[in-house]
Amino acid sequence: MMLEVASTITQAWIDELAQAMEANTHCSVPRRISKILSASSVEMLLTRATAVLKKEKTLVRRAPSMDVEEIIVVGDTHGQYHDVLKLFSLAGAPSAKRMFVFNGDFVDRGAWGVETLLLLLSHKLRAPEEFMIIRGNHETEFCTECYGFERELSVKYGKTAGRVLYPAFLALCAAMPLACVIQDTTLILHGGLFRAAGMKKHDAMHNPRLGSLNDLEKASKGGADPVGEGRSMIAGDVLWSDPIAEDGLRHNEARGIGIQFGPAQTREFLQAENLKLIIRSHEGPDARHDRPEMPSIMSGFCVDHDCGDAGKLCTLFSAPNYPQFIDVDDLRHHNTASFAILKPESNWCEPEIVSFDAVPRPPSACYYEIDLGGSDCEGPESDIRPHEPLHVDVGEGDEGARWKEDELTHKLKLVHEDDE
């Protein structure tokens, strides 16, 4: 059954697509998804969603109308399509009364990143104001090269179509906003806090200052592959940073990109911006297993920094029994997942947490080398990339020798080695 993408996407069409894709996951031939939604239809969804996302700023501000009864915030889902379907069955479908914010890392690691992405994009196109998609560190060229999504696209739609769809996917990533503020009280972003704009390279590394929402609002979205320096510094920080137990603001040596920030820095940021809640994601049970000094994320939710009257910083993770694939010697965590509900009665800043277990998964292929490890231990400048990046020029933000800024237009131009 081949579905056609209409000019107006309806909830009935989304339901039909979701059910057809779920049934197809029980098939032993992943490429049969192309019999449900053709490569040209996938490209159309990617292109239309990119156009919508390009209109959104780096920092999106939402003031829910009186009709909105709740906002559902979702953490990492990592291609675990069946668990995403369960989440929607528990939370309900997006509507004028129920907004959604998906906080990044929709793809990679799980076997159904394509299905998860197509479902979320369909919801975004049906209700662009009510359905928010925030970028995670896995919505980048580096991570999708290393952790499966690039190969998954090629397997499910063929290498020829994959060469068209993957750059279109990277253009989509480059258009995604980095953060969302709800009613001026709650900030939602994937990794964490970020450094101030305009610092010299040495100061940014060795004497960093905390950034502001004004810095974030004016920042580049980071391009296809934010490396965390220059124009993509703030994007790299937002996507890759982590909270720590002790006070301080320092380079994130563990990941090689972004920063680590302590409770004092969270308090400073909350008070400076008049916020009461920060929801971030980015760390699952594997990452927290390697950081025992931090609160456990085994339930899918934890408070990392409780700053009293100033507010809180929390981690939200929505992929149960994560990761889907583990190496023979790795620990299976059997974690539950959670989503958060924000309501107007608490001024959108007191999350109600709903936890859920994993859905039994059909047999499936793993699209990456699982000996890369369970956590993102290295950023985009590491040597674990399977091949040289495409360097697709999809927006400002990518730094290094391959980019040069035009003095008149201030746009970044790709510089080939032969030109240097």
Residues noted as catalytic: 138
Q: 94, 130 in Cβ contact below 8 A?
A: yes
What are the DSSP calls for 95-131, one per residue? -SSEEEEEES--SSSSTTHHHHHHHHHHHHHH-TTTE
What are the DSSP calls for 203-250, one per residue? HHHHS--B--HHHHHHS----SS--SSGGGHHHHHHHH-EE-SSS-EE
Distance between CA atoms of 89 and 402, rounded to whole angstroms? 46
Q: What is the distance, to the nearest Å, from the Cα of residue 303 to the centroid of all Cα atoms in its chain?
A: 20
Q: Is 188 helix (H, G, I), strand (E, B) or coil?
A: strand
Give me the sheet containing 301-306, strands edge to edge: 59-62, 179-182, 186-189, 277-280, 312-316, 301-306
323 preceded by cis ω (within 30°)? Answer: yes
- What stretches of 221-376 show up as alpha helix (H) in DSSP? 233-240, 263-273, 285-289
Backbone angles phi, psi at 185, to 5 degrees: -120, -30
> End-to-end CA distance of the chain, in Å?
51
Cβ neighbours for 27, distance < 8 A, ≥ 6 positions apart: none
Distance between CA atoms of 138 and 318, rounded to whole angstroms? 15
Cβ neighbours for 265, distance < 8 A, ≥ 6 positions apart: 193, 210, 247, 248, 249
Extended strands (E) in 45-200: 59-62, 70-74, 98-103, 131-134, 179-182, 186-189
